[in-house]
Amino acid sequence: MSQPKYLRFDTLSLHAGQQPDPQFGARATPIYQTTAYVFKDTDQAASLFNMERAGHLYSRISNPTNAVLEERIAALEGGVGAIATASGQAAMHLAIATLMGAGSHVVASHSLYGGSHNLLAYTLPRFGVETTFVNPRDLAAWRGAIRANTRLLFGETLGNPGLDVLDIPAVAGIAHGAKLPLLVDSTFTTPYLMRPFDLGADLLFHSATKFLSGHGIVIGGLLVDGGAFDWDASGNFATLTEPYAGFHGMDFTEESTVAAFLLRARREGLRDFGACMSPTTAFHILQGIETLPLRMQRHVENTRKVIAFLSRQAAVESIGYPELESHPDHALARKLLPRGCGAVFTFSVKGGRPAGRKFIESLRVFSHLANVGDAKSLVIHPATTTHFRMDDAALAAAGIGPGTIRLSIGLEDPDDLIEDLSGALRASQKV
Amino acid sequence: MKLPVDGKQAYAYTAGRALDAKLPSVVFVHGAANDHSAFLLQSRYFAYHGCNALAVDLPGHGRSEGAPLTTIGAMGDWLASFMGAAGIPSAALVGHSMGSLVALECAARHPARARALALIGTSAPMPVGDALLGAAREDSHAALDMLNIWGHSATAQLGGNTVPGMWMTGANVRLLERAKPQVLHVDLKACHDYADGRTSAAKVRCPVLFVLGSRDMMTPPRTAKDLQAAIPEARTVVFEGTGHALMAERPDGVLEALIGVVGAPKS
């Protein structure tokens, strides 16, 4: 008998997690827009509540449409399972809240989405969780920042917006050497461009609002567990390895050898914090994921064409994209991101802030808004919008200058995008 | 719970419940390179429905110390010793795949220990192909992939897990990866070498249940016929479209079938 094969990425993008509807044979995933589920009898009800039987009992905890999405992203990422959340921020919070409490510490890259930076720098300290931010390229800094109470290392696969490429094998090695897990935000890369678990990461999350959806019509997050981290052997995670009074003394690692984290995250985090995803949102994200491979190919192709154009323009001071040899992570990107470095990047236009403002206001095809990863091309000025809470030093550390412009390249005809950018660049130099 | 058996610490999942000598017991035995979590749902159900439920980790597996045992007979004897150490005179023995042979051998060699027997995804003999055995001997990940893919029906490989949000084949391969080096090879060789199935089955005196999957590529239903012939009064439940990973693919169906033979009183 020949070596059997797993289903491949493009097939899983369309099918993973779903069986045709058994009642009517619907091929599409039905939207189970329901709050609750009728129990067969009192024994089944009690068994569901006590996790003696699998199934759905209340849509804050789980929902059949969401479950398809959760399985699909877990399949694409090579994980053991996933939890759909109200947003990417909710997914990040759920991960942290599941692993630690007051008195704990996180080591994080300083190149983060502004909202993530805010949660770690300002909000979580109020709840007793502190963070040390480090240069993601400085491996000694990662190692040196780990304390006795550190419970997590965290970074973005591609830092926002400077596209620092996280050296996942190296940072994961540091984390594992300290018996700690590595969590990554995979929003910019999606599993099509990178599968962080294959590189050593332990947990990941997505803002599914972005490339996974592509259509820009929903807000959602996905938290995925790689299932390889040994919480028992670590000895650092009492939330997973000691009896939990909130569920009849359940010891989650005893209960589930490979999915203890997800078990607690669902049974505590979703139950108590309640940041669940709407099933209609899950349906919309599923529609996006069905075409993820095709869209990511086109995103990367268009981005390469746009960057080639910008590289030739006198009005462009600099471009930050890891596929360019000028990017400090070029060599690492070639190793970790062979399919491409995504469709979000920054560049600086000559003339500083006034020229940047004129450039953005002169664009016609690009939409000026606070999002990335849409099928439509997008533009924003990070220093005054997504990262406005950061001071100048933090901005500089994240690679953001006053004239930095962030583009998210969509799926339009690349010639139309280039013509739009060309006209806006001309206008910017007349300020 | 942990307790010493043959000088080594042995582990069994009990759903966090203390054993009660007044209750009937159900002992679950996992398959090759697995652990107690293979029976998580079913064992948890019985633990909360009037039984002592003990899902063991065989020696060298999961949380149990020691080297893996090299023959099915030795595993069957170990199971009897474990029950003795736990103070359980008899139990319904529920085994999956390799665990089904262990349960069978325990029931044949130590008839007083078995008040019922449930053989899930079973066959005897249980030959293992050269490709799989060879890959396991090399501790190659290819062996885990073969087990994972052949161990699930084509339908299950598309997903639709009863457990919300869990990717069945992803979780299974991670569980297999947890096994220590050579454990899978020792287990598979023990299955391959096991030749006592029909003889042992003929010695069984307790009620027996076969639970089989019609799409099981590891132990197709036809390969259980020798065992079924040796226990003509046994009940058989076949799940259509289901592969070898019966407890994962059909958790409620397997549970309902077990409730019948295990005979747990209503809580």
Helix (H, G, I), strand (E, B) or coil at B214: coil
Q: Give me the helix-helix angle, A279-290 and A292-311, nearest 10°.
A: 70
Q: Do A55 and B162 touch (CB under 8 A)?
A: yes
Mean pLDDT, residues B259-267 taken together: 67
Distance (Å) from the alpha carbon of A12 to chain B's nearest alpha carbon: 8
**Phi/psi at B173 (nearest 5 deg)?**
-70, -35
Mutation to test the B interface, candidates A10, A11, A42, A53, most B Cβ within 10 Å: A53
Closest C-alpha to B36, from B18, B9, B63, B16: B63
Interchain proximity A15–B159, CB inside 8 Å? yes
A246 and chain B in contact, CB less than 8 A: no
Instruction: Provide the percentage of residues in chain A whose pLDDT is more than 70.
Output: 100
Report CB contact under 8 Å: B159, A266. no
Cβ-based contacts of B150 with chain A (< 8 Å)? 4
Question: Could you tell me which residues come within 8 angstroms of residue A267 by beta carbon, excluding any fewer than 6 positions away?
Answer: A51, A61, A246, A247, A250
Three-state secondary structure call for residue A133: strand
pLDDT at B244 over 90: yes
Note whether A66 contacts B159, CB cutoff 8 Å.
no
**Residue A373 φ/ψ, nearest 5 degrees:** 75, 15
Contacts of B13 in chain A (CB under 8 A): 254-255
- Helices within chain B (DSSP H only): 40-47, 72-86, 98-109, 130-137, 141-150, 168-178, 183-193, 197-203, 225-230, 246-249, 251-262
CB contact under 8 A, A249 and B16: yes
Q: Which residues of B touch A (CB under 8 A)?
A: 13, 16, 35, 37, 40-41, 44-45, 48-49, 62, 129, 131, 142, 145-146, 149-150, 155, 157-167, 169-171, 174-175, 177-178, 251-252, 255
Say whether A79 and B45 touch across the interface (CB within 8 A).
Answer: no
User: Do A80 and B167 count as a contact with CB atoms less than 8 A apart?
Assistant: yes
Q: What is the pLDDT of residue B53?
A: 97
Q: Do A19 and B155 touch (CB under 8 A)?
A: yes
Interface of A with B in 50-79 (CB under 8 A): 50-56, 61-64, 66-68, 70-72, 74-75, 78-79
From the list B149, B160, B177, the residue facing A18 with the nearest CB is B160
Which pLDDT does position B263 carry in this prediction? 65
Residue B159 and residue A52: Cβ atoms within 8 Å? no
Lookup: tokens for A305: 């064409």
User: Mean pLDDT over residues A36-50, rounded?
Assistant: 96
pLDDT in tens, A247-293: 989 999 999 999 999 999 999 999 999 999 999 999 999 999 999 99
CA–CA separation, B218 vs A273, rounded Å?
A: 43
A254 at interface of B, judged by CB pairs closer than 8 A = yes
Residues of A in contact with B40 (CB under 8 A): 255-256
For residue B218, the 8-state DSSP code is: S
Q: Is A358 on the interface with B (CB under 8 A)?
A: no
Q: Is it true that the peptide bond before A136 is cis, omega within 30 degrees of 0?
A: no
Over residues B181-202, the mean pLDDT reads: 97
* Residue A3 in contact with partner chain B when CB distance is under 8 A: yes
Minimal CA separation from A119 to chain B, in Å: 26
Give the mean pLDDT of A15-33.
Answer: 93
Nearest Cα of chain A lies from the Cα of B202 at a distance, in angstroms, of 33
Indicate the pTM of the whole model: 0.96
Contact B174 A1 (CB under 8 A): no
By Cβ distance, the residue of B146, B161, B163 closest to A4 is B146
> Residue A149 pLDDT more than 60?
yes
Instruction: Considering only CA atoms, give the Rg of chain B.
Output: 17
Question: Which residues of chain B are within 8 Å of residue A250 when distances are taken between CB atoms?
Answer: 16
> Which chain A residues contact residue B171 at CB under 8 A?
80-81, 227, 258-259
Where would I find the H helices in A86-167? 88-99, 114-118, 139-145
Cβ contacts (< 8 Å) between A259 and chain B: which residues? 166, 171
Which pLDDT value is given to residue A309? 98
**pLDDT surpassing 90 at residue A390:** no
Give B265's pLDDT tier (boundaries 50, 70, 90).
Answer: very low
pLDDT tens digits, A111-131: 999 899 999 999 999 999 999
Do B37 and A255 count as a contact with CB atoms less than 8 A apart? Answer: yes
Closest residue in chain B to residue A82, using alpha carbons only: B165
A19-28, A198-207, A256-265, B149-158, range with the lowest pLDDT: A19-28
Contact A84 B165 (CB under 8 A): yes
pLDDT, one tens digit per residue, over B95-120 is 999 999 999 999 999 999 999 999 99
State residue A291's pLDDT score: 98
The CA-based angle A9-A11-A14, given to 5 degrees, is: 110
Mean residue pLDDT of chain A comes to 95
Among residues A163, A221, A223, A194, the alpha carbon closest in space to that of A408 is found at A163
Instruction: Return d(Cα B38, Cα B20) in angstroms, integer.
Output: 24
Residues contacting A43, CB < 8 A, separation 6+:
none
pLDDT at B267: 43
pLDDT in tens, A320-366: 999 999 999 999 999 999 999 999 999 999 988 888 889 999 999 99
Kindly indicate the confidence band of residue B145, based on its pLDDT and cuts at 50, 70 and 90: very high
Q: Is A227 on the interface with B (CB under 8 A)?
A: yes
Q: Please state, as a whole number, how many other Cβ atoms lie within 10 Å of the Cβ of residue A341.
A: 30
C-alpha distances in Å from residue A33, one per residue of A69, A162, A279, A298? 15, 40, 6, 33
Tens of pLDDT along A167-218? 999 999 999 999 999 999 999 999 999 999 999 999 999 999 999 999 999 9
Mean pLDDT for A147-165 is 94
Chains A, B: CB contacts under 8 A, how many? 142
A16 interface with B at CB cutoff 8 Å: yes
Please state, rounded to an integer, the average pLDDT across all residues of chain B.
96
pLDDT in tens, B24-39: 999 999 999 999 999 9
For residue A56, the chain B residues in CB contact (below 8 A) are 164
Element at A169 (helix H, strand E) = helix A168-177
The CA distance from A56 to A168, in Å, is 36
Tokens for A117? 């930076």
Quick check: A7 contacting B, CB < 8 Å?
yes
